[in-house]
Chain A
Amino acid sequence: MKVTQKDVDHVAKLARLGMTDEEKDRFTKQLSRILEYAETINKLDTKNVSPTSHAIPMKNVFREDKTIPCGNMGDIVANAPSAENNMFAVPKIME
């Protein structure tokens, strides 16, 4: 798969990932190469194969629906780059 600069712009937007022009240029080339290599898996016939998401059988785990303490709120909010009144503060979202 040949990755174009336009693809890189689109994917970077999906990932909310800012990049310098130099990085975009480099990734365009490297992603093409890596994807070309990844496509070697197309040699395998998987028509009747089901996908594996976890290799060890997993089941959903339920617990009783009751509130339990989850640590000190102050310690958690203390990690925020910006906080007000024990809440995360972010730039204005709507005008």
Chain B
Amino acid sequence: MELFELTAHELHAKLDRKETSAEEITKSVLTRISKVENSVSAFMSINIDEALAKARDIDGQIASGKPITQLTGIPIAIKDNLCTKGAITTASSKILQNYIPPYNATVVEKILQAGAISIGKTNLDEFAMGSSTENSAYKVTKNPWNLKTVPGGSSGGSAASIAADEAILAFGSDTGGSIRQPASFCGVVGLKPTYGRVSRYGLIAFASSLDQIGPITKDVTDAAIFLTAMAGHDPKDSTSVELPVPDYRRSLIDDVKGLKIGIVKELLGKGIDEAVKRSITEAADLLKKLGAKIEEISMPTFEYGVPTYYLLATAEASSNLERYDGVKYGHRSKEADDLLSMYYNTRREGFGPEVKRRIMLGTYALSAGYYDAYYLKAQKVRTLIKQDFDKAFAKFDVLISPTSPTVAFKIGEKVDDPLSMYLSDIATIPVNLAGIPAISIPCGFDNGLPVGLQIIGKAFSEETILRVAYTYEQNTEWHKQRAKL
């Protein structure tokens, strides 16, 4: 087996036994990138020289006896909406084409301090707005399992980089499903932590009450390791919570005996592909065989998740994106004779169609005369959705559902139909609205394309969803299958 095919925990064991070096690992991953990146297009930028220099430096530190962490020498891909000091960060938008952050996002700083190697920045839907990565202003990322299909989005570049073995770990961010849905489409593991579990400092804001950074990995063990490394309170993010961070590896227990699992009825009904339903039902049967108690649960407000989200997330986005005005950073239009024409033309030229559509929708929902009917109403429905989860978790330890109603769709299939694109997040959005954690893990295939199982937990119960995910993974072989490139 080549080094690039291994997981972070396998590589760590090899490094620990001095069977390999950070340089060998980095070279292996860079060679893999040079071989497959032309067909996958996962990256916005690749740090060849910096990565090799850092790897050699790390090897020097190891030789001099410095203790290694779980992330030492591990090549990590960073979604291009996370600020990296001195390295261009675009959010896949033209308006940030030349933006060089003067600081690192807290999560980036943490992994670099832990000895990880930043291998490159990955493609996304512009400002993380989308479900296919087709809204990137720069390139279309392909799904490694079938290059004619999308990798999902918005963390499509990160998920594709993991599925194609172009990175060992990857950062994603999830506002309405942007970690879990691409993880599902690409047959890898993606975890959205509880809101506040991970600092958002240095994440280019989309919808601040929903955004959360999380891991995209090859298996559940790596997700636990990577989450442990990135979680924790940060004085620079006042919404990050002051709770101790457990070592999430301790929750990797191959046992679900006695756990109560609810299977969401509304997400096995109309609008969900038959093949997806079958995989989820089989996954539920397996968990039952392994000792869990499975029962159906109705979540009557689930169907209101998508409309609620598209009012709240766009309202927050319209406010967050006011900062792109051609003054402090990014693009400024050449047609800027006065202040107003600078604003209008800079934003017309710099934003792509989906971003404009969401700014319009959000501004409308917040505007005088419509605020109560749209924005406030949606905030109230958000309360109802949260209450549905509270009721469910009074009875169940975790809930399960498909991550996405379908497997990966064809490139171009939904670009002209925003509503149908939005509906591909029907299973993931309610989780963001309630602020709770969820993980997507591979649980089958349809026509050679991966199906994802979503496991949802109550706030700050990452340990429970990791335990269920780990148990399922240890008793199946799906995660061992790799895309052939």
Contacts and interface: CB of A to CB of B under 8 A. Distances in A.
B379 interface: yes
A51 B364 contact: no
A81 B325 contact: no
Given A16-B347, A79-B328, A42 B377 contact: yes
A1 to B, nearest CB: 8
Given A52-B379, A71-B103, A90-B342, A27 B356 contact: yes
Contact of B239 (A7, A34, A58): A58
B382 interface: yes
Interface in B348-401: 348-349, 351, 353, 356-357, 359-361, 363-364, 367, 374, 376-384, 386
Contacts of A3: 364
Nearest to A39: B307
A15 B360 contact: yes
Contacts of A12: 360
A32 B339 CA distance: 31
Nearest to A47: B380
A34 B418 contact: yes
Given A23-B356, A27-B357, A50-B380, A91 B344 contact: no
B378 A41 contact: yes
Interface of B is mostly: helix
A18 B344 contact: yes
Interface residues of B, number: 72
Given A17-B347, A76-B102, A91 B360 contact: no
Contacts of B381: 41, 44, 46
Interface centre among B303, B311, B326, B381 (most CB of A within 10 A): B381
Interface in B328-342: 328-332, 336-342
A17 B348 contact: yes
B329 A16 contact: no
B96 to A, nearest CB: 9
Contacts, number: 168
B221 interface: no
B339 A91 contact: yes
Interface in B27-80: none
B471 interface: no
Contacts of B481: none
A86 interface: no
Given A41-B307, A49-B383, A50-B383, A55 B364 contact: no
Nearest to A44: B381
A32 B429 CA distance: 22
A31, A78, A81 — which one has the most chain B CB atoms within 10 A of its CB? A81
Contacts of A16: 322, 325, 340, 343-344, 347
Nearest to A55: B435
The 4 closest A-B pairs by CB, nearest first: A55-B435, A18-B348, A51-B379, A81-B332
Interface of A: 3, 7-8, 10-12, 14-20, 23, 26-27, 30-31, 33-35, 37-44, 46, 49-56, 58, 60-61, 63, 71-72, 75-76, 78-82, 88, 90-93
17 contacts: A11-B367, A16-B340, A30-B357, A31-B357, A34-B361, A34-B422, A35-B374, A46-B380, A50-B380, A54-B239, A56-B196, A56-B435, A58-B239, A72-B102, A76-B102, A79-B98, A91-B342
Given A20-B348, A46-B383, A56-B241, 6 more contacts: A12-B360, A15-B359, A17-B351, A30-B418, A44-B301, A52-B386
